[in-house]
Chains A and B, each alone.
Chain A
Amino acid sequence: GESVGLHLPTLSVQEGDNSIINCAYSNSASDYFIWYKQESGKGPQFIIDIRSNMDKRQGQRVTVLLNKTVKHLSLQIAATQPGDSAVYFCAESFSGGYNKLIFGAGTRLAVHP
């Protein structure tokens, strides 16, 4: 959903641990989901995407899981590194929606050595 708070939720992890960032989406008609990483002072950078005909997709060190029943999306990062520290956004879209992306509020990932 489009919740906005004073501070971004933060996930703190130790270097080398696995990270899981969760996202709830709002539109049951959404059929495309995407994760972006935004480092300080930069634009959002594509990480991985998934369409609604799949429930899992893997990339390099990242996995996205989609649970359409509860409208939940998660991003798993294996062996988290300091360079993974950033704000992570999930976004949803649907076919016929002119590729309009609806972004979630974002989660800050802080990786500690």
Chain B
Amino acid sequence: DTAVSQTPKYLVTQMGNDKSIKCEQNLGHDTMYWYKQDSKKFLKIMFSYNNKELIINETVPNRFSPKSPDKAHLNLHINSLELGDSAVYFCASSQEGTGPMEQFFGPGTRLTVL
């Protein structure tokens, strides 16, 4: 009964390839997020979707494209992978409230670009 799940757990690929990471939450939350954690453990938000609508889009290369087929899923597609894309990517979700709310994180996907 995992709350926020991501696939795959590990992803190793060559530079220039296109890859996708999938995320699903079964918490009934309205909002989902993608975060990137670099090798220094720094966590930074990339995107946020609320009810399938993009609401946060940080300064991320347009090679990264999130897609939300429904409010329980938020996938991340990355085109033309570069060495600097190597990181751990976390999906998260939260319920909509009258102010900021706790975000629940998935287990992460470690992406290694060779």
Q: Which residues of A contact B (CB under 8 A)?
A: 2, 4-6, 8, 31-32, 34, 36, 38, 41-46, 49, 51, 87, 89, 93-95, 97-103, 105-106
Interface string of B45-62 (1 = CB under 8 A from A): 100101000011000000
Q: How far is the CA of A93 from the CA of B50 in the complex (A)?
A: 17
Find chain B residues with CB under 8 A from A34 CB. 102-103
Find chain A residues with CB under 8 A from B43 CB. 44, 89, 103, 106
Find chain A residues with CB under 8 A from B101 CB. 99
Q: How far is the CA of A70 from the CA of B114 in the complex (A)?
A: 44
Instruction: List 17 additional contacts besides A49-B102, A101-B100; criterion CB under 8 Å.
Output: A32-B100, A42-B108, A43-B92, A43-B105, A43-B107, A46-B103, A46-B104, A87-B41, A89-B43, A95-B98, A95-B100, A97-B100, A98-B50, A98-B55, A99-B48, A101-B45, A103-B44
Find chain A residues with CB under 8 A from B92 CB. 43
With CB as the reference atom, state the residue of chain B lying closest to A32.
B100
Asked if A6 contacts B56 (CB within 8 A), the reply is no
Find chain A residues with CB under 8 A from B42 CB. 2, 4, 103, 105-106
For residue B99, CB closer than 8 A to chain A, the reply is yes
For residue B106, CB closer than 8 A to chain A, the reply is yes
Asked if B103 contacts A43 (CB within 8 A), the reply is no
Q: How far is the CA of A13 from the CA of B43 in the complex (A)?
A: 25
CB B47 to nearest CB in A, in angstroms, measures: 11
CB B91 to nearest CB in A, in angstroms, measures: 9
Find chain B residues with CB under 8 A from A4 CB. 40, 42
With CB as the reference atom, state the residue of chain B lying closest to A97.
B100
Q: Which residues of B contact A (CB under 8 A)?
A: 4, 31, 40-45, 48, 50, 55-56, 90, 92, 94, 98-108
Find chain B residues with CB under 8 A from A94 CB. 100
Looking at A41, A46, A99, A103, the one whose CB has the most chain B CB atoms below 10 A away is A99
Contact of B99 among A5, A31, A41, A44 (CB under 8 A): A31
Which 10 pairs between the two chains have the least Cβ-Cβ distance?
A43-B105, A32-B100, A93-B100, A103-B43, A95-B99, A44-B105, A98-B55, A99-B100, A43-B107, A106-B41
